[in-house]
Amino acid sequence: LYETGIEVAGPVRNLRLESSAKQEATITIRWDLPAEDGAQVEQFQIIAEATRSYASYRIHPLRWSLPNTTSTFELSNLTPGTDYNVTVVSLSPKGEGGRASILGATEIGIPDPEPEEPIILRRLGSTILIKIPRATNNNGPVSYYRVVVHYVNGELIQQIDESQLNTFQKSKENRVPYYIAAELEMKDDDSLHFTVGDGREYRSYFNPPITVRAHVHISIGLVSVRNHVVKVRYATTTHEQHQYPDHQHVNLKTVEIERNETLITILTVACILFGIVLTAAIILYIYLRYKTPSANPRPFADHHELTLQGPILEVENNGFMPDIYEQRGFEAELRDIIEGLEQSKHHARKYLSLNINHILGSGKYGDVLAGSLQQGQDQDIPAHVHVVTDDMESVDQIAFLNEFRRLTALEEHANVILFLGVCVTPDWCYLLFEQMQTTLKQTLLNARVPSNVNSAKFSTISEEIVVNILCLVCDGMQFLADNNLMSKKLCARTVYVNTKFEVKVSAFGPPLYAEGTEKCIDIARWHAPEVIKFQNHSVKGDVWSFGLLIWECCCLGATPYGSTTTDNLFAAIRAGQKPERPGFMFEDLYQLCLNCWDLDASDRPSFIELRNYLRQTLPMLRYLLSFERKQSIQLPPYLPHLEMVE
């Protein structure tokens, strides 16, 4: 045996994937350090090379350099739905050493680009013939094409809330104006023709007839499935889909008239002849009436009133109510949900203490009381107790059951208020939630340093804490979105913190009263325009509210739209009014708010994108936000009379 005279570092040992950390654009690897019989490792180089991808563009290899003490690393900015060969190279002063490689894959992402709007070829009675163009997807396979029918009310198009999108029967029960009509596969053709409303079933989705003359939009959802992960993206619909040359948006009678010009001519001639004959008959009648004397004239007093005899029918127009609630009732449905809870969520009344004189808030589902739950002999947990009211309207009962059912299916999350369980008595039903120390609103207002106090900053909390709070709110909101839940009321008053700056968002119930008052919060000031106008709640509506929360946090609890009353809010937003950028909030962070306030809900960012951006900018806070006191800097005011309902 002869030595080569070259001593380099050996390869890392036991290179492996962290399967629990698998995400859309990341792969996490872990390894053991090389054996000590080689040269000292100076640093590691990570190389990621794509071996298989759905992307239509070329994916270049990515490289990272890491310190020699590193034993785990998250490869970020990878392409979703792509297989990678990941290599770890040991580098020493002698040069490149041993290599270790492993195959990994990223999870598929939301399909990109957005699928095209379908082409409406013909509308005939209760059916619509559409042409679905072939779609491409850079983030995963194209598995199915989902056909969505949307009954549009008015000229302003409401965005489809994907969490409410379901089968025709479920959408009918939930009174949602859109549903999935079919899931289709496209073979090797460039397009697919499909008849919406043919009454058949496609992959468990019923395709019911379309209401004649209803204003309907058809959207296409691109479904991508790989390794039991499903991602969907829907095409944005516009009124332009009715304007294709071949589109006949008419009823059956009009179609027949346009197709048969001969019949039109015959009917026209017949009408003219009938009119001539009728005119001649009227003239003849008048002539004979005046020329022929009456043989038995009737006395003027012998007149009889003409009346209708027979049965009179009354038509009753009842509002729509899903069959399941009509048959079983609200109490039975609520009982089923409660009985489905695990035993640890059921609490006896003797362990629940209520302060009935301390009402914390009130909403359409009932009041919120202060209370505590006894767990163990000496442990009392402070709780917010939601008392379910027994006089809800039918529409509110359905909404309550839907929200409560999703709530009970939630797992625990560090940034969502914990559901402690229920307490049921013969007369009342109580829903119990953990109680945090205070609201984010109060924390922000308390952090303001008065102008007459000599301080280098006008805030007692740092810029880093504020941005970190926003990151944690994003985590909680993304968790709710992943579980088909929406906040519908996101603002600083519905985010709760403690002295350790642990942050939790509320997933259920009304905003609490303003501290020290019994006045309800006017949450409309944080709502998106489609919510103010149509009550059309969606995750993208929560994103609009989050943009206002960013502004509210940076301005230490100031009131958004401080110069506008709630009655004029919608008109002001449609006219382009937005909260102004204060001097201490820099352009990049304010642009993030503007992205959240896009009037087109589909163009607003997701909570994942918002969280990633905020976390990436934490090391560069000086370019986002500064609480340093300067003469030209003035905090926007907190105006409680605009935030509360009188």
Condensed to tens digits (0 to 9), the pLDDT of residues 48-74 reads: 999 999 998 888 899 988 898 889 998
Measured distance CA(448)–CA(557) in Å, rounded: 9
pLDDT score recorded for residue 41:
87
Q: Is the whole-model pTM more than 0.85? A: no
Q: Which domains does the chain have, with CATH numbers?
A: 13-105 (2.60.40.10), 119-255 (2.60.40), 323-434 (3.30.200.20), 438-643 (1.10.510.10)
**Statement: residue 257 has pLDDT above 70:** no
pLDDT tens per residue, range 99-128: 999 999 989 999 989 999 998 988 888 899
Q: 386: buried, middle or exposed (CB in 10 Å: 19+, 13-18, 0-12)?
A: buried
Residue positions counted in the chain: 646
**Statement: residue 349 has pLDDT above 60:** yes
Q: State which of 85-99, 303-317, 601-615 shows the largest mean pLDDT.
A: 601-615
| Residue among 440, 442, 441 nearest 496 (CA) | 440
Mean pLDDT across the chain, nearest whole number? 85
β-strands 429-434, 419-424 pairing? antiparallel
Measured distance CA(401)–CA(418) in Å, rounded: 18
pLDDT score recorded for residue 52:
92
DSSP lists the bridge partners of residue 122 as: 129
Question: Residues 170, 398, 230, 192: what is their CA dihedral angle, to the nearest 10 degrees?
Answer: 30
pLDDT score recorded for residue 157:
59
| Higher per-residue confidence, 551 vs 139 | 551
pLDDT score recorded for residue 22:
60
pLDDT tens per residue, range 178-237: 999 999 998 877 888 999 999 999 989 999 999 888 888 999 999 999 988 999 999 887
pLDDT tens per residue, range 613-626: 999 988 888 888 99
pLDDT tens per residue, range 120-160: 988 888 899 999 999 999 999 999 999 999 988 655 556 78
**Helix, strand or coil, per DSSP, at residue 443:** helix
**Statement: residue 508 has pLDDT above 60:** yes
pLDDT score recorded for residue 308:
33
**Statement: residue 29 has pLDDT above 70:** yes
Which stretches within 260-314 are classed as H helix?
261-291
DSSP lists the bridge partners of residue 286 as: none
DSSP lists the bridge partners of residue 431 as: 386, 422
Q: State which of 121-130, 345-354, 475-484, 544-553 shows the largest mean pLDDT.
A: 544-553
**And the tokens for 438?**
């205070």
127-133 β-sheet, strand order: 119-124, 127-133, 191-196
Q: What is the mean pLDDT of residues 393-397?
A: 87
pLDDT score recorded for residue 504:
96
Measured distance CA(611)–CA(180) in Å, rounded: 31
Residue pair 48/84 in contact by the 8 Å Cβ criterion? yes
pLDDT tens per residue, range 407-453: 898 899 999 999 999 999 998 999 999 998 899 999 999 999 998 88
Residue pair 536/150 in contact by the 8 Å Cβ criterion? no
pLDDT tens per residue, range 353-394: 998 888 888 888 889 999 999 987 778 889 999 999 888 888
- pLDDT-based confidence at 292, cuts 50/70/90? low
pLDDT score recorded for residue 434:
92
Handedness of CA 150, 154, 157, 162 (dihedral sign): negative
**Statement: residue 2 has pLDDT above 50:** no
**Statement: residue 260 has pLDDT above 90:** no
Q: What is the mean pLDDT of residues 536-550?
A: 95
**And the tokens for 422?**
């229920």
- pLDDT-based confidence at 242, cuts 50/70/90? low
**Statement: residue 299 has pLDDT above 80:** no
Q: What is the mean pLDDT of residues 20-32?
A: 80
**And the tokens for 5?**
């005279």
